[in-house]
């Protein structure tokens, strides 16, 4: 039986692949509300010349526009890589209900990889599930960085 999270994570993976083709670190994210995709994002830091152009922030911003509110209760955010501190902070501020992520991020992950921002005192909590489509997410990142280092022809 397939998890109901897998199709949404595959949508996020398609966005991560799009980011890779554009020369961006391959991270994709989708926001889902009541079973409908309401936000999409992919890394665009290089293209936008913007340190805040993370996939998660794009997906959250689009979800807020589409839902007509900044409080994103009822939203699940799917992201291919464990989010960084900035993105977890945005998820807490937006009051998302749930975060589902793919590959672990031991160097910068803020949901247990490097640290767990949710363990600090906040006025909001969300549930999380890591490791959904983990191998596909990790493989995309490995391939991207191997190509950047010239290890793959």
Residues noted as catalytic: 56
Query: Buried b / exposed e across 99-134, counting CB within 10 Å, b at 16+?
Result: bbbbbbbeeebbbbbbeebbeeeeeeebebebebbb
Give which of 131, 123, 124, 129 is closest to 102, Cα–Cα. Answer: 131
């Amino acid at each position: 039986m397939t998890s109901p999270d897998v199709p949404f994570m595959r949508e996020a993976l398609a966005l991560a692949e799009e980011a890779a083709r554009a020369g961006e670190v391959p991270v994709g994210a989708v926001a889902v509300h009541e079973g409908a995709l309401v936000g999409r994002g992919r890394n665009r830091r290089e293209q936008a010349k913007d340190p805040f152009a993370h996939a998660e922030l794009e997906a959250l911003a689009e979800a807020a526009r589409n839902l007509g509110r900044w409080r994103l209760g009822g939203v699940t955010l799917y992201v291919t890589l464990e989010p960084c501190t900035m993105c977890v902070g945005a998820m807490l501020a937006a009051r998302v209900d749930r975060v589902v992520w793919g590959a672990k991020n031991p160097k910068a992950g803020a949901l247990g990889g490097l640290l767990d921002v949710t363990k600090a005192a906040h006025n909001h909590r969300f549930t999380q599930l890591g490791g959904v489509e983990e191998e596909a997410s990790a493989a995309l990142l490995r391939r991207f960085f191997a190509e950047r280092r010239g290890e793959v022809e």
